[in-house]
């Protein structure tokens, strides 16, 4: 029986990715070096609410340019939060033909983080 799935995005810089994901409101759950120094290669895990994301700068752990999708309660509220934090938005909240309202953000390696909620009626 499958229990969980954890997307893994490839990154090239622990320092840039760490700052970016923390700005998005994610909390580092594992992978910080014991001495606190951010250095590559690294495998780290982040969470925000119930969303889980792993990132890796190890060779062979994927390629940059991946995509991860998060369902959220209110994509417009998340958009307002990220804009207030000056996070560049790749696609502002948009009603899609498939019934979701989506927003896209690119991380420092151009991995796409996509956030969606049910479109308003």
Question: The domain spanning residue 68 has which CATH number?
Answer: 3.10.180.10
Strand order in the sheet with 51-56: 8-10, 51-56, 43-48, 27-30
Distance between CA atoms of 7 and 61, rounded to whole angstroms? 11
Q: Which domain holds residue 89?
A: 8-118
Q: Is residue 30 part of a domain?
A: yes
Distance between CA atoms of 80 and 97, rounded to whole angstroms? 23
Count of domains forming the chain: 1
Query: Among 5-9, 29-33, 46-50, 61-65, where is mean pLDDT lowest?
Result: 29-33
**34 pLDDT tier (thresholds 50, 70, 90):** low
The predicted structure's pLDDT at residue 83: 98
The predicted structure's pLDDT at residue 38: 81
Q: Is residue 3 part of a domain?
A: no
Q: Is residue 36 part of a domain?
A: yes
The predicted structure's pLDDT at residue 35: 72
Give yes or no for residue 68 having a pLDDT over 80: yes
β-pair type (100-106, 91-95): antiparallel
Q: Is residue 1 part of a domain?
A: no
Distance between CA atoms of 121 and 119, rounded to whole angstroms? 6
Q: Is residue 33 part of a domain?
A: yes
């Amino acid at each position: 029986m499958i229990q969980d799935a954890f997307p893994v995005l490839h990154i090239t810089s622990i320092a840039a990715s760490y700052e970016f994901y923390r700005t998005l409101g994610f909390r580092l759950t594992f992978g910080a070096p014991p001495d606190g120094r951010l250095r590559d290669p690294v495998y780290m895990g982040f969470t925000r609410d119930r969303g889980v994301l792993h990132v890796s700068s190890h060779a062979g752990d994927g390629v940059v340019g991946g995509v991860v999708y998060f369902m959220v309660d209110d994509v417009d509220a998340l958009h307002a939060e990220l804009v207030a934090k000056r996070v560049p938005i790749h696609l502002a909240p948009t009603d899609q033909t498939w019934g979701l309202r989506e927003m896209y953000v690119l991380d420092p390696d151009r991995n796409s983080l996509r956030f969606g909620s049910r479109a308003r009626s």
